[in-house]
Amino acid sequence: MKMQTNPSTRIRTERRTVIRNYIRLYLLLIRTSVRSRMQYRFNFAFGTVLAAIIQLSEFLMVAIVLAKFGAVRGWSMYEVGYLFALMTLAKTLYRTFGNEVHNLERYLVEGELDQLLTKPLPVLLSLMPRGFRLMPGELLQSGAILTWAMGAMMRSGQITWWAIPQTLFAVFTGGLILFAIGMATAACGFWTTRISMLQNMTEDAAQTAARYPLTLYPGWMSGLMLTAIPVGLVSYVPALYILRGELGVWVFPLLAAASCLAVLLALAFWRFGISKYQSTGS
C-alpha cells in the first residue's frame, strides 16, 4: 500500500516553493541593484542629495504656510507635519518596490512589455523586479519630520508610545493604497499607452492634496479623496484617530480592509487590462 499525496496538498506545496523562490529572487534583485548603484557612487550620492533637496523644498512649502498661519483648520503645525511625513513614508514604500509599475508607460511605448510576457511569472511579478529603487533621501527626511512631530506631541501628552506601532501600521496600509492607485492608473495604459497625464491627477495632485487636512477642501473634493482616489485613507483618516482620538479603534481594521480591497480591485482591473493588451507591432 503506497501513500498517495493529495493533489491539493501538492499544489499548495508547489505554490509555497514558487513564493519562496520569488522572495529569494526579489532579495537578490535588491542586493544586485544596491551593488550596482554603489558602483557609480558619485551618481548615487548626487541623485540622493538632489532627491533630498526636492523633498526639503516640498516640505518647506507646507512648513512655511504653517509657520505663517500657525494652524490649518484647527490642525497644529505638528499635526500637519505628521500628515506630510506619513504621506511621504507611504509613498516611499510604494515607489521603492513599485517604481516600475509607476513607469509602465515606458514599457508600453518601447514594447518592453512583450519581454515580460515571455517570463514564467505573472506580469506584475516580473515587472516589479525590473527595478528596485533606493530612496534614502525621502526616508531620512520623512523619518526626521515624523520624529520631530511625534516627539513634540508626546512631550505635550497629546499622544503616547502607542502611536508608534499605530503609525507604522498606517504607513504600511498607506503604501498599499498608493500602490493600488498607481497600479489602477498604470493599467489604463493597456488601452491608452500614455498614462503620465492621468498619473498627474491620480498620483501627484492627489498626494499633494492629502498632505493637508481634508477639511480644507470643498466637500466633493474630499469625498473623492476618500472613495474614488482614496489618498485620504493614507494619512488623514489614520491621523484623525492616532493624533486626535476621533473615530475609533475600528479605524485600523477599516484601513486593513480598505487597503486590501483597493489592491484586489486594482489587481482585477490590471488583469482585465492585460487581456486587452495590444502589443505595439515592431
Partner 1 sequence: MNTVMQSQAAIEAVGLNKQFRTPIVAEGKFAGIRSLFSRKYIVKEAVQDIGFTVEKGDFVGYIGPNGAGKSTTIKMLTGILHPSSGKVMLSGIDPHRDRTRCASRIGVVFGQRSQLWWDLPVKDSYDILAHMYGVADEDKRRRLAQFDELLSLGEFWETPVRKLSLGQRMRADIAAAMLHDPDLLFLDEPTIGLDVNAKRNIRSFLKTLNEEFGKTILLTTHDMDDIEQLCRRVMVIGGGRLTYDGTIEGLRREIGLPTEIKVTYRDGYRLPDAMTESSHMQIVSRSEDTLTVEVNRQEVRTMDALRQLGHWGEIDDVEMREPDFEEIIRRVYG
Partner 2 sequence: MISFRSNTRLYLALASKAYARNIQYRSSHLLHNFASAAFGYLYACIWIGLGRDHSLGEYGTHGMMQYITFTQTSLWVASFTTVGLGIPQSVRTGQISLDLMRPVHLFPHLMAKEWGQIAYQFLYKSIPIYLVMLLALGLTPVDGGRTLPIALLALAGSAYMGICMGYMIGVSALWTTESSWLHWSNQALMNLLAGFFIPLQWLPVWLQQIAWASPYPFMLYAPTQFYLGKGNPLNLLGTLAWCIVLTICCLLLTRVMRRKVEVQGG
The C-alpha cell at 86 is 506619513
Residues in CB range of 141: below 8 A, 6 or more apart: 52, 55, 56, 59, 88
- Residues 206, 214: Cα–Cα separation, whole Å: 11
25-39 as b/e: b if 16+ CB within 10 A:
eeeeeeeeeeeebee
Least distance to partner 2, CB of residue 195, Å: 12
Task: Give the one entry of partner 1, partner 2, none that residue 130 binds, where binding means its C-beta sits below a cut-off of 5 to 8 angstroms depending on kind.
Answer: partner 1
- Residues 127, 109: Cα–Cα separation, whole Å: 15
Q: Which of residues 64-103 bind partner 1 (CB under 8 A)?
A: none
| 3 state DSSP class of 75 | strand
Instruction: Please identify which residue in 21, 160, 193, 200 interacts with partner 1, judged by CB under 8 A.
Output: 21
Task: Give the one entry of partner 2, partner 1, none that residue 29 binds, where binding means its C-beta sits below a cut-off of 5 to 8 angstroms depending on kind.
Answer: partner 1
Q: Does 14 bind partner 1 (CB under 8 A)?
A: no
**Per-residue binding letters, 214-233, with partner 2 (x by CB under 8 A):** -xxxx--x------------
Least distance to partner 1, CB of residue 28, Å: 6
Whichever of 205 and 264 has its CB closer to partner 2, that residue is 205
**Per-residue binding letters, 22-41, with partner 1 (x by CB under 8 A):** --xx--xx--xx-xx-----
- Residues 86, 240: Cα–Cα separation, whole Å: 13
Q: Does 69 bind partner 2 (CB under 8 A)?
A: yes
Determine contact, residues 203/94, Cβ cutoff 8 Å.
Answer: no
| Half-sphere exposure at residue 19, Cβ-oriented, CA atoms within 13 angstroms | 6
- Residues 175, 254: Cα–Cα separation, whole Å: 15
Instruction: Please identify which residue in 10, 24, 31, 73 interacts with partner 2, judged by CB under 8 A.
Output: 73
- Residues 163, 252: Cα–Cα separation, whole Å: 12
Whichever of 50 and 247 has its CB closer to partner 2, that residue is 50
Q: How many residues does the chain have?
A: 282
- Residues 163, 161: Cα–Cα separation, whole Å: 5
Considering CB under 8 A, how many residues would be counted as binding partner 2? 37
The C-alpha cell at 117 is 510576457
**Per-residue binding letters, 39-68, with partner 2 (x by CB under 8 A):** -x-xx--xx--xx-xx--xx-xx--xx-xx
Specify whether the backbone of 132 is left (phi greater than 0), alpha (psi in -120 to 50) or beta. Answer: beta
Task: Give the one entry of partner 1, partner 2, none that residue 115 binds, where binding means its C-beta sits below a cut-off of 5 to 8 angstroms depending on kind.
Answer: partner 1
Binding region for partner 1 (CB under 8 A): 21, 24-25, 28-29, 32-33, 35-36, 110-112, 114-115, 117-122, 126, 129-130, 275, 277-279, 281-282
Binding region for partner 2 (CB under 8 A): 40, 42-43, 46-47, 50-51, 53-54, 57-58, 60-61, 64-65, 67-69, 71-74, 194, 197-198, 200-201, 204-205, 208-209, 212, 215-218, 221
